[in-house]
Amino acid sequence: MSSNPNLPQVLRADKAFIAKLKTIPKGFAHYITFESFVDEVAFSEGESFTVLPDEFNYLNDEDIVRITPNKEHIRVLYRKKATNNTIMITEQCNHYCLMCSQPPKNQDDSYLLSEAFNLIKLIPKNTKEIGFSGGEPTLFGERFLELLEFTKSHLPQTGIHILSNGRAFKDIRFAKRYANINHFDMMVGIPIYSSNPSIHDYIVQSAGALDETLAGVLNLKRLNQKVEIRVVIHKQSIEGLLDLCEFIGRNLLFVDHVALMGLEMMGFTRANLDSLWIDPYEYKDILSDAVSILNSYKLTTSVYNHQLCTVNKDILPFYRKSISDWKNEFAPECDGCKSANDCGGFFSSSLQHRYSDHIKAL
């Protein structure tokens, strides 16, 4: 979509215009407006338009949305201003993680992959990075690799970040095919929750998972591919967190990034809240030690999805404002906080369901 009324006619034919004023430029394929503007905007005959709820008011130039023909469903697929745009290409998964934010569905959803191909064509060429996630994107096998190649061709300057459990890469042929895409900036983010296979396998609800994931990580690094280890911190992973950090330092020193992440209150997390929830404030010293260990091993380390008032000061060099900007919200306790600008804030799901009891204005 476009918000540019001066866009040359020739470029208007395949774009939707975001109409918020009375006079609207002619010649766009479609028009989008919002409930509170709908009375002001004067559409001409023959112009097709969609009225969206005001909560979509943030949509802006070069954003991409998907609206079903009956206009019952709308999904925002790409936001120009977001620092990371992630495309979900499947809801199927061979894990069943206790804290999955996107509970897997075991049904054919290859239409999502087809959509992704279409979407890639629409994304602006100067986009810095896009992500692919699932479910488990590698379950599509060869088709997934084709999507990566396609993306490389259409968005040659765009970095690619893939969220995967890494198990598919245990097959060295698959890993080689992946490496042969030869992308200048492509990284796989792979979750590891414990150095103890039983705990990891329990958290992802799949026996033998850690062993295969590690084999995948090793294959990727053998082929000089970028790998990020992602650790979600919760009640099941906190106890072994320091052991895990030492394990990474001793065994996986060659990974490119380690992310220690707070829990998102989506999907299964809410169902399993009792066995997952631990107040970040309670584990802040462990988090400091974890970062200190990783940093000692000179691993590039980031802390994601935490609020500044729940972490110790020594975390600050590693603290990232990671929560996507349109999800970035604050709690009532944050009123008057001078650090809000530097703080990642909350997932709206956290504000709704559960967040630290120790949130306070700094």
**Which chain residues interact with another protein by CB under 8 A?**
96, 98, 194-199, 201-202, 205, 207-208, 210-211, 214-215, 218, 221-222, 224, 240, 243-244, 247, 249-251, 253-254, 272, 289, 292-293, 296-298
CB of 3 to another protein, least distance (A): 44
CB of 192 to another protein, least distance (A): 11
CB of 291 to another protein, least distance (A): 11
Q: Is 85 exposed, middle or buried (0-12, 13-18, 19+ CB in 10 A)?
A: buried
Q: Name the DSSP class of 43.
A: P
CB of 233 to another protein, least distance (A): 17
Are 252 and 297 a contacting pair, CB within 8 Å? no
CB of 182 to another protein, least distance (A): 17
**Block residue for tokens 């540019």:** 4
Which lies closer to another protein via its Cβ, residue 115 or residue 243? 243
Buried b (16+ CB within 10 A) or exposed e, 250-262: eebeebeebbbbb
CB of 169 to another protein, least distance (A): 13
Task: Please give the single-letter amino acid code of residue 15.
Answer: K
- Tell me how far apart the alpha carbons of residues 224 and 341 are, in angstroms, rounded to a whole number: 37
CB of 137 to another protein, least distance (A): 22
Token pair for residue 356? 């630290």
Q: Is 341 exposed, middle or buried (0-12, 13-18, 19+ CB in 10 A)?
A: exposed
- Tell me how far apart the alpha carbons of residues 36 and 39 are, in angstroms, rounded to a whole number: 7
- Tell me how far apart the alpha carbons of residues 46 and 269 are, in angstroms, rounded to a whole number: 47
Which lies closer to another protein via its Cβ, residue 9 or residue 300? 300
Which lies closer to another protein via its Cβ, residue 71 or residue 250? 250
Which lies closer to another protein via its Cβ, residue 123 or residue 258? 258
Q: Is 67 exposed, middle or buried (0-12, 13-18, 19+ CB in 10 A)?
A: middle
Which lies closer to another protein via its Cβ, residue 86 or residue 196? 196
Which lies closer to another protein via its Cβ, residue 24 or residue 190? 190
Which lies closer to another protein via its Cβ, residue 77 or residue 214? 214
**CA atoms lying within 13 Å on the CB side of residue 174:** 17
In angstroms, what CA-CA distances link 142 with 65, 204, 228? 27, 24, 22
